[in-house]
Amino acid sequence: MKIFRHFLLILLLFAENSFAQTFEVLPLGVYGGLNEANISSYLVKSTSSDQYIAMDAGTLYAGLVKAKMLQNISLNPTDFLQHHVQSYFISHPHLDHISGLILNAPSLKNKTIYGLQFTTDAIVKHYFSWDTWANFGDEGEKPQLKNFHIATLQNEQPIQDSISNLKITPFILSHASPHHSTAFLIQNKDTYILYFGDTGPDRIEKSTHLENVWKYVAPLIKKKQLKAVFIETSFPNSQPDKLLFGHLTPSWLNKEFTTLANYTGKKALKNLSIVITHIKPEGDHENTIKNELKAKNPFHLKWIFPKQGVPLYF
Ligand SMILES: [Zn+2]
Ligand SMILES: [Zn+2]
C-alpha cells in the first residue's frame, strides 16, 4: 500500500512537471482597431525570468496603466518598459501594431526593434523620419537619435535573445496580398508559443505561408511542446470573402485548423490553447465572433479571449 502511495506521488510530481507553466504573457492590447488604447501587443516572458519581449506594440502605455490598476505590475509604465522590455518584435508595419512604440520612443533607451525586411524598411522610411516624427533609430535619416537598434530578421532564421533567454523564429505571412506580415515562434527551452501577426486564409491570399507554419509546428504539437497559439479572428462569419482585407473569420480559422490537423492528426489538437487576437470591435462583432467560435469547434480547441492587463500562463 505504501509503495503504491509512493508510486502515485511520483506519478503526480511527474505530471506536474511536464505540465508546468513555462510562459507568462501579459496582453497590453487585444483588439484590431477602433480603440487606440487597446490594440495588438503582448508581452511574453519565461516564468523563470523578469525580462519580457514584446510581440507587436500597438498599445504599450495604456495597457501597462491597466495592468498596474489591476495590481498585476507594480512599476509605472515607463519604468516598467525601461527595465523589463528590451526587445520589440513587430509582425508588420500597420499602425495598430506599432503606434504605441512610436509614441513611447522618446522615453525609451537602448531597445531593439526586430522585424523582417518589409517591416524594418517601413519603420525607417515612414515612422522614424523627421517628416512624420523623429528618427529614434540607428538607420536612415540623419540625425539618428539611436534610442532603438533596428534589427532585420531573416525568414525562418532563429535568433537567440540573450536578455529574455528566449529563441525567436520569424515566418513570413500573407496579409492582403501582396502585403506581408509575420508569425513568431517563441522557444523557452523545450516549450513553445506561436504568435501570428495579421493574416488572411491561404485560399483567399493565394498563398501557402500559413500551411508552411502549420507544417513546421506540427511535430511540436504532437509532442505537446507547443503551449499556445495566438491568432487573429478580425471579423464575424458574415464578412464577405472579398472584404476580408487579409484577415480571418471563425469559419476561415477553422478551415486553417483543418489544414493543421492534416499534419498533426485530429486528436493532437484537442485542448490546444488558442488565444483569439485582433477582434475588430465594431457594433456587436466581439460577441458574434465569440459565439461563432464556441458554436463550431470541430477540433475541440481551447479558445481563450485575452483581457488587457491580465496575465496568461502556459
Ligand atoms: Zn492589425
Ligand atoms: Zn494589419
Q: Which residues pair with 304 in a beta bridge?
A: 275
Q: Within 10 Å of residue 56's Cβ, how many Cβ atoms?
A: 31
Give the span between the Cα atoms of 151 and 260, in whole angstroms: 31
Ligand closest in space to the Cα of 175: 2
Per-residue confidence (pLDDT) for residue 11, from 0 to 100:
55
Question: What average pLDDT score do residues 125-141 get?
Answer: 98
CA of 19 to the centre of ligand 2 (A): 34
Question: Can you say how many angstroms the Cα of residue 93 is from the centroid of all Cα atoms in its chain?
Answer: 14
How does pLDDT run across 148-206, given as a tens digit for each residue?
A: 999 999 999 999 999 999 999 999 999 999 999 999 999 999 999 999 999 999 999 99
Residue 37 alpha carbon to ligand 1 centre in Å: 14
Q: What is the pLDDT of residues 116-131, one digit of tens each?
A: 999 999 999 999 999 9
- Predicted local distance difference test score (pLDDT) of residue 157: 98
Q: Where are the alpha helices (DSSP H) in the chain?
A: 2-18, 61-69, 77-84, 99-104, 117-122, 202-205, 209-222, 250-264, 285-295
Three cell numbers, residue 92? 508588420
Lowest mean pLDDT among 10-14, 29-33, 54-58, 260-264: 10-14
Which domains are seen in the chain, by residue range?
23-313 (3.60.15.10)
Q: What are the tens digits of pLDDT across the range 278-293?
A: 999 999 999 999 999 9
Nearest residue to 165 via CA among 81, 48, 43: 48
Looking at every residue in the chain, the average pLDDT score rounds to 95
Q: Does residue 16 register a pLDDT over 50? A: no
Rounded to whole angstroms, how far apart are CA atoms 45 and 188? 9
Instruction: Inform me whether the pLDDT recorded for 9 exceeds 70.
Output: no
Query: What does the pLDDT read at residue 7?
Result: 60
Is the pLDDT at 62 greater than 70? The verdict is yes
Render pLDDT for 193-239 as a digit per residue (tens, 0 to 9). 999 999 999 999 999 999 999 999 999 999 999 999 999 999 999 99
227 CA to centre of ligand 2 in angstroms? 25
What is the distance in A from the centroid of ligand 2 to the CA of 33? 10
| DSSP 8-state class, residue 72 | S
Q: How far is the CA of 92 from the centre of ligand 2 (A)?
A: 7
Query: DSSP for 119-175?
Result: HHHHIIIIISSTTTS---SSSSSSS---SEEEEEEPTT--EEETTTTEEEEEEEEES
Number of residues that make up the chain: 314
Distance CA 124, CA 131 (A): 12
pLDDT given at position 256: 98
Ligand of minimum distance to the alpha carbon of 232: 1
